[in-house]
Amino acid sequence: MPKLFIEFSGSPLISWCLRAIQKVPFDSRILILGDRYQDALFSLSLMEESRGIDIIINHDFRQGMATSIKAGLSAISPDTEAILIVLSDMPFITSETMEKILYAFQESNQIILPVYQGNQGHPVLIPRFYFPQIEKLEGDKGAREILQRNKEKILALSSPTPEVILDIDTKEEWLKWKNSLL
């Protein structure tokens, strides 16, 4: 079973992210699957939270996170103004945080990067202007290259809570954070 479907606090890890995404008025919602996608597809088919989400299979996932971002980019509408990259192993990200990011983008038209106490977080919003740079990404750096190249065009959005920097890689991490945040 992929990590994202391990049950934590009564729900699969990914369901926390999907529930938050469902509450935000996005034009589209795209979920990229890679490793063990067959297991993931079956599990997702049983989850109410996955309704209305387009699922894309990234067969090149072994080549790094950049391939997943590019797979998502290839599935968006041609008139998409920006993409919000949400990592599904970050269950504490709230719909309110995503809405603040969208609002900041509407006001600034810049890359929006949430920050908690000086630490860069997620989700990251990247405007259409940077899509050609995304197409050139390689490896497992994700969008970090774009952020590093365009520091002066980033709007750092301060987060009052650590939700934007907390990812869950082990059950121990989940237990540690759930007691302090939930």
C-alpha neighbours within 13 Å on the C-beta side of residue 179: 5
**Does 143 or 117 have the greater pLDDT score?**
117
Distance in angstroms (rounded) separating the CA atoms of residues 141 and 31: 19
> Which DSSP string corresponds to 147-173?
HHHTGGGEEEEE-SSGGGG----SHHH
**Does 14 or 2 have the greater pLDDT score?**
14
Residue 180 has pLDDT above 70, yes or no: no
pLDDT digit string, tens, across residues 18-37: 999 999 999 999 999 988 78
Asked whether 50 and 44 are in contact (CB, 8 A), the reply is yes
Residue 148 has pLDDT above 80, yes or no: yes
Whose tokens are 């990247």? That residue is 126
Indicate the range of 8-17, 62-71, 81-90 predicted with least confidence: 8-17
**Confidence at 103, pLDDT banded by 50, 70, 90:** very high
pTM, 2 dp: 0.90
pLDDT digit string, tens, across residues 112-135: 999 999 999 999 999 999 999 999
**Confidence at 100, pLDDT banded by 50, 70, 90:** very high
Instruction: Output the pLDDT for position 135.
Output: 92
**Confidence at 170, pLDDT banded by 50, 70, 90:** confident
Residue 71 has pLDDT above 90, yes or no: yes
Long-range contacts of 169-175 (CB under 8 A, 24+ apart): 169/3, 169/89, 171/6, 171/8, 174/8, 174/9, 174/13, 174/91
Tokens of 35: 């490793």
Distance in angstroms (rounded) separating the CA atoms of residues 160 and 14: 23
Eight-state DSSP code of residue 75: T
The topology under which CATH files domain 3-181 is: Spore Coat Polysaccharide Biosynthesis Protein SpsA; Chain A (3.90.550)
**Confidence at 2, pLDDT banded by 50, 70, 90:** low
Residue 174 has pLDDT above 70, yes or no: no
How confident is the prediction for the chain on average, in pLDDT?
88
For the chain, domain boundaries: 3-181
